[in-house]
Amino acid sequence: MNGKQLLETLELKTVCGSVESFDGVYAGDLLSRAMSHVEADNLWITIMNNMNVIAVASLTEAAAVLLAEGVELVPEALEAAKEKDICVLSSDKTVYELCAGIAAMLN
């Protein structure tokens, strides 16, 4: 899916970086589950906001991290995301609303 279309349709904010496109979505907060389920180029939707999220996003090569429910990255995580060139998006919507919105776009 096209990144620009995603941002516009779901009214997402860009925290840092940019996302051209993504392929597949994983939603979840437990890091060792995300570690094994987030595939390269996935959009990862989570409410976790610490440094470890950036490490997992980097290792899994996620296309972007989408922070739900108005969550903000802790400052050091934001620094790390910028440094590692990881795209972080955010939204006030819940994880469910975001997933449902993306599913609707795919249909």
Partner 1 sequence: MHEPVKFHFNVDGENFSSAGEASVMVKKKLRQLGFPPDVMRRVSIAMYEGEINMVIHADGGSADVTVEDEYIEIVLADKGPGIPNIDLAMQEGYSTARDNIRALGFGAGMGLPNMKKYTDYMHIDTEVGVGTTITMRVNI
Q: Which residues bind partner 1 (CB under 8 A)?
A: 29-36, 40, 48, 50-53, 55-56, 58-61, 74, 76-77, 84
The DSSP code for 39 is P
Minimal CA–CA distance to 23: which of 61, 70, 75? 61
CB-nearest residue to ligand ATP: 32
Residue 16 region, left (φ>0) first, then alpha (ψ -120 to 50), else beta?
beta
Taking the complex as a whole, how short is the minimal distance between the CB of residue 33 and ligand ATP, in angstroms? 7
Distance between CA atoms of 12 and 66, rounded to whole angstroms? 9
55 makes contact, choosing from partner 1, ligand ATP, none, with CB < 5 to 8 Å by partner type, with: partner 1
Residue 60 binding: pick among ligand ATP, partner 1, none (C-beta 5-8 Å cut-off by kind): partner 1
CA 30 to chain centre: 14
Which parts of this chain interact with ligand ATP (CB under 6 A)? 31-32
